Amino acid sequence: MTSYLCAVGTATPPHRIPQPQIASFMAEGLQLDAADTRKLRALYRVTGIAQRHSVLADYGRTNGSFEFFPNTPDLEPFPTVGQRMGAYRQYALPLSVEAVQNCLQQLPELQVTDITHLITVSCTGMYAPGLDIELVEKLGLSSNVRRTCVNFMGCYAAFNALKLAQAFCLADPQAKVLLVCTELCTIHFQKNKEEDHLVSNALFGDGSAAAVVQAQPAKSGYSLSLEAFHCELERDGHADMAWHINDFGFEMTLSSYVPKMIQKGIRQLTDGLLRKLPVKLKDIHAFAIHPGGRKILETIEQELGMSTHDNRFAYQVLRDYGNMSSATVLFVLRELLGSLTPAESGAPVLSFAFGPGLTLEAMLLQVHLA
């Protein structure tokens, strides 16, 4: 018995800002001199990101017209955690609802009252009564829907949500699980000139992704069966990817050593996943990899003998949206689902995501055509 990822819906905020324009905002906000501004612009150019989305219009504006950040040369007084959580509460619900509606449009046979479980995922904001209860009310879900929140696990959290969804479906074949990953990373801009913070500010964007998991494939189109999961901890990378709540927002640490940590552990992760399955790496030609950054994707390709074409969905999401933490891998799976052809029915799909710990998650899926 297995479970199926039957649909993925996505949503992004209305403010789509080109990467060079964000670099200009950052250089001004950090009060960089001409030499450091050139270095920052070079960093933004090599990210592989063309644009990102934000719930804040300020990243596409100049000082004097900001709505969230202070219109002062040094952005002081810098927004507090409370102000940032206020922005999260304002914007997270409508973005989540849009992603869910986009998802459910793909499953006309599923009514919102059929949903038995709701899993909400986020590491960029928390409050109570929270996003889960607001979604129940806004979407018209049953008041007795079973709610689970996966919080503060970072970029790999969607994998844990999918594991939970699978467990619910295995326990109850009638379960209809809706999971919603919503991340507003850009509300946590940190005014810090250290390299780790400069890299983080160059990568992260806002977005929401929703998915439906159930014990049966969708009645039409493509579904992905959840065949197996495997997780590894690369303890040497404990301090290289971290996420802390400080006085002025959530502070991301993303070391330049992360690709080396992934290089060290990706083969072990893949072998651990496939060891007990009748699938070999050489037989896998479809991939859905979390684009934590361009260097991470290149490292995985080198270690597993992949081509950039194999990784095209990850590069496409990175280019168009940046890294949206937990929602990102679902954006990649959405691109993959939209590209499938009948000839790929039965094909295995290998997926990875990475996050604090350093945590490495792997998942094997299989294409099903109704």
How far is it, in rounded angstroms, from Cα 124 to Cα 250? 7
Catalytic residue status for 155: yes
333 CB-side CA count, 13 A: 36
d(CA 114, CA 142): 8
Choose the catalytic residue: 6, 103, 123, 155: 155
Residue closest to 194 by CA, chosen among 280, 254, 244:
254
The pairing of strands 206-214 and 176-184 is antiparallel
Phi and psi at residue 253, to the nearest 5°: -110, 120
3-class SS of residue 6 = strand
Residue 280 burial class via C-beta count within 10 angstroms: exposed 0-12, middle 13-18, buried 19 and up: exposed
Tokens at 355, concatenated: 């996050």
Q: What are phi and psi of 140, to 5 degrees?
A: 80, 30
Q: Which residues contact 296 (CB under 8 A, 6 or more apart)?
A: 258, 259, 262, 354
In b/e form, how buried is each residue of 103-135, taking b as 16+ CB within 10 angstroms? bbebbeebebebbbbbbbbbbbbbeeebbbebb
The catalytic site residues sit at 155
